[in-house]
Structure formats: structure tokens, C-alpha cells
Amino acid sequence: MRQPNGIQIELERVSKAYGEHVVLEGIDLQIAEAEFLAVMGRSGSGKSTLLKLVGGLDMPDAGAVVHRGLSLNGMTERERARFRRNSLGFVFQFFNLIPTLTVRENIYLPLELNGKTGVETTRRTSELLAELELDDRAHRFPDELSGGEQQRVAIARALVHEPELVIADEPTGNLDLETARRVLELLSLSCRQRRTTLIVATHSREVASGADRVLRIRRARLEAGAP
């Protein structure tokens, strides 16, 4: 049984540098289950770097990243890959859909990668198509969609394998204001309904204003930030 709002992710004294350039220094952070956390900071401050460390896409130079008591540092690359495949959903600024797959195929890809096919796959894909208002786009290819539609496909793909954490790096950075609003609303609503933890890096105060908590990276440190 899950503890209500227990700690899901913990960063302990995490540091990361690229050569001489210290991007993050001694970061301590606890993220609760089902929390929606926004990370802000100017361009180059280290938002993407932080998100990659949290998701095990990159490893810190020092310190530990711990998910439900399990340290990512202690895992082999293979174990980390399995952890990402099972437990994480990613949403990127530029959608990153597979151009040769239809909307429906793009969405259920993570299930296929986890070796799952059949009725359950079809059911979950259809449910997300409806939830993200993509029913009538199911058989199109990504280049036949608007930016907002492509990002909604990417959100469905990030959720289809029921991950416990979704990481979104400037998910609305490439969309106009009105579309961005709607996309973010759908992303946060879908995560809230599933009690999926959501971390969003953003430049947008409006995006951050929907979060439970806002943090800002400044001079390689994390500070509490107002949206």
C-alpha cells in the first residue's frame, strides 16, 4: 500500500558539473507522491540537467538520487533502463514522436517496449485517446497534426504504461499561449487523476502557477520560488 503523500523521490547532496562549469551543487530535494512540482530558472541554469538526474537519464558527479528508497546510483545501466521504461514517462519540448507510426501506434509504443500487447493495450490506448481529445486523430501520422495535437499524443504516450512519475521539460515551450494552456491543463489533470507525480521545467509563470510547489535554480542551488 502506498503511504498517502509519502516521499517518492529524494535527492541527497547532488552535484553535477560539465568540465569546469558547476551546474548543480549540493542539491537536496524531496518530492512527494502525487506532487506537481514546477522547476523554473533562466536559460542555462540547469533545469534540464536536474530533470535528467531525477529521471536517471544522467548520473550525478556526487550525491544520490533515490526513488522509493532505491538509489539509482547503485543500479547497473541495464537496471536503470528498466526503471525508466517501467516507472517514468517523459514529455519533451519538441514532442519527439516517431514519424512513421500513427498516433495510436505512437501512444502504445511504451507498452510494446515493455512486452505488453493485447486487449489491455487497446483499452488503455483508447482511453487516453479519448481523455486527450484525440479520438478522431488516431490514424493520422505526426506530421499531419498541429503542435498542440502532437504534444497531446506525447502526453498520452508518457502515461500509457502507468508510470509513477512524469517528467516534462518545457512541454509548452513550442506552443502558442492558448494551446499551451489547454495542453498543460490536460497534462496536470491526467496526472492528478492517476496520482502520478509530475515535474515540469518551465519558463512560464502561468504553467508554474498550476503547480503544488515552485522551485527555482539560481547559481547552482535550488530555492523556493514564487510562480
Ligand X SMILES: Nc1ncnc2c1ncn2[C@@H]1O[C@H](COP(=O)(O)OP(=O)(O)OP(=O)(O)O)[C@@H](O)[C@H]1O
Q: Which residues bind ligand X (CB under 6 A)?
A: 18, 23, 41, 43-49
Give bridge partners of residue 91 from the DSSP assignment.
Answer: 168
| Least distance from ligand X to the Cβ atom of residue 199, Å | 13
Residue 107 or 199 with smaller CB distance to ligand X = 199
| Rounded CA separation 195/193 (Å) | 6
Q: Strands 7-18, 62-67: parallel, antiparallel or unpaired by DSSP?
A: antiparallel
| Least distance from Mg ion to the Cβ atom of residue 37, Å | 15
Site for Mg ion in 32-61 (CB under 5 A): 47-48
Residue 20 or 136 with smaller CB distance to ligand X = 20
Residue 4 or 18 with smaller CB distance to ligand X = 18
Name the binder of 44 from Mg ion, ligand X, none, CB < 5-8 A by kind.
Answer: ligand X
| Rounded CA separation 72/56 (Å) | 7
| Least distance from ligand X to the Cβ atom of residue 184, Å | 17
Name the binder of 190 from ligand X, Mg ion, none, CB < 5-8 A by kind.
Answer: none
Contact between residue 47 and residue 39 where contact means Cβ atoms under 8 Å apart:
yes
Contact between residue 52 and residue 46 where contact means Cβ atoms under 8 Å apart:
no
| Rounded CA separation 17/25 (Å) | 8
Name the binder of 74 from ligand X, Mg ion, none, CB < 5-8 A by kind.
Answer: none
Residue 88 or 132 with smaller CB distance to ligand X = 88
Containing H/E element for 125?
A: helix 119-131
| Least distance from Mg ion to the Cβ atom of residue 108, Å | 28
Contact between residue 84 and residue 158 where contact means Cβ atoms under 8 Å apart:
no
Residue 43 or 100 with smaller CB distance to ligand X = 43
Q: Where are the beta strands (DSSP E) in the chain?
A: 7-18, 21-32, 36-40, 62-67, 70-71, 88-91, 165-169, 197-201, 213-218, 221-224
Name the binder of 46 from ligand X, Mg ion, none, CB < 5-8 A by kind.
Answer: ligand X
Residue 34 or 166 with smaller CB distance to Mg ion = 166
Name the binder of 18 from ligand X, Mg ion, none, CB < 5-8 A by kind.
Answer: ligand X
Residues of this chain that interact with Mg ion (CB under 5 A) are: 47-48
